[in-house]
Amino acid sequence: MRIFIAFDFDEQIKRDMNKHIVRWRKMASGVKWVGMHGMHLTLKFLGSIGPEKLPLLRATIEKAASHYSPFPIKLKGTGSFPPRSRTPRVLWIGIEAGPTLSSLHTEIETRLARLGFPRESHAFHPHLTLGRVKKSPLPAILTEDFRQYHETVFGETLFRKITIFQSRLSSSGAQYSPLAEADLI
């Protein structure tokens, strides 16, 4: 099973973000835009694991979640990976959450490292992926429009639970299925 751990966004946030994607989709055909079902904040990508590891993984995430209360996040600003590149690979909306999100991420990394999952080699940069660029360079109209939202607040919500997702790859894109959830208390 191909597994990742994430915060899932509420339906209102997904609908609001989708309105922007619909608009940007008209400006560029070379981007694989994320559907509403695929909108989440990845905390940790684990890759392929056997189903026998799922109970231990669930217990680990529940333990981490038990140390945190639901906390607010703000979707703010647009950007890309790599940053400021003329040929970006990923377009995203940033997530501001203060120290709670960073602390929770660090705790999950630490707990999963004890189970043998390698730590990330790059810094945690919370974001909501909007699209993956398949054809560069992007049209100037999209690049300029996207940059105009650099400081825009797109919405706010509370993160209330951590979800373990299974990702299935197909010709139509990745399909995500929740396998387990752990409520922040």
Q: What is the distance, to the nearest Å, from the Cα of residue 111 to the centroid of all Cα atoms in its chain?
A: 20
Could you give the strand order of the β-sheet that contains 175-183, starting from the edge strand earlier in sequence?
40-48, 2-8, 161-168, 175-183
- For residue range 108-147, list pLDDT tens digits in order: 999 999 999 999 999 999 999 999 999 888 898 998 999 9
Cα separations (Å) of 177 from 31, 59, 134, 157, 160?
23, 19, 25, 22, 18
Q: Which among 20, 37, 40, 150 is annotated as catalytic?
A: 40
Q: What is the largest CA-CA distance in the chain?
A: 49
Q: What percent of the chain has pLDDT over 90?
A: 86
Query: The whole model's pTM is what?
Result: 0.93
Backbone angles phi, psi at 134, to 5 degrees: -105, -20
- For residue range 13-65, list pLDDT tens digits in order: 999 999 999 999 999 889 999 999 999 999 999 999 999 999 999 999 999 99
Beta bridge partners of 92: 79, 129
User: CATH topology for 2-183?
Assistant: Cyclic Phosphodiesterase; Chain: A, (3.90.1140)
Specify whether 150 is catalytic. no
Residue 27 is predicted with a pLDDT of 93
115-123, long-range: CB within 8 Å, 24+ apart, which pairs?
115/53, 115/56, 115/57, 115/60, 117/44, 117/46, 120/44
SS3 for 38?
Answer: helix
Specify whether 122 is catalytic. no
- State yes or no: cis peptide before 99, omega within 30 of 0: no
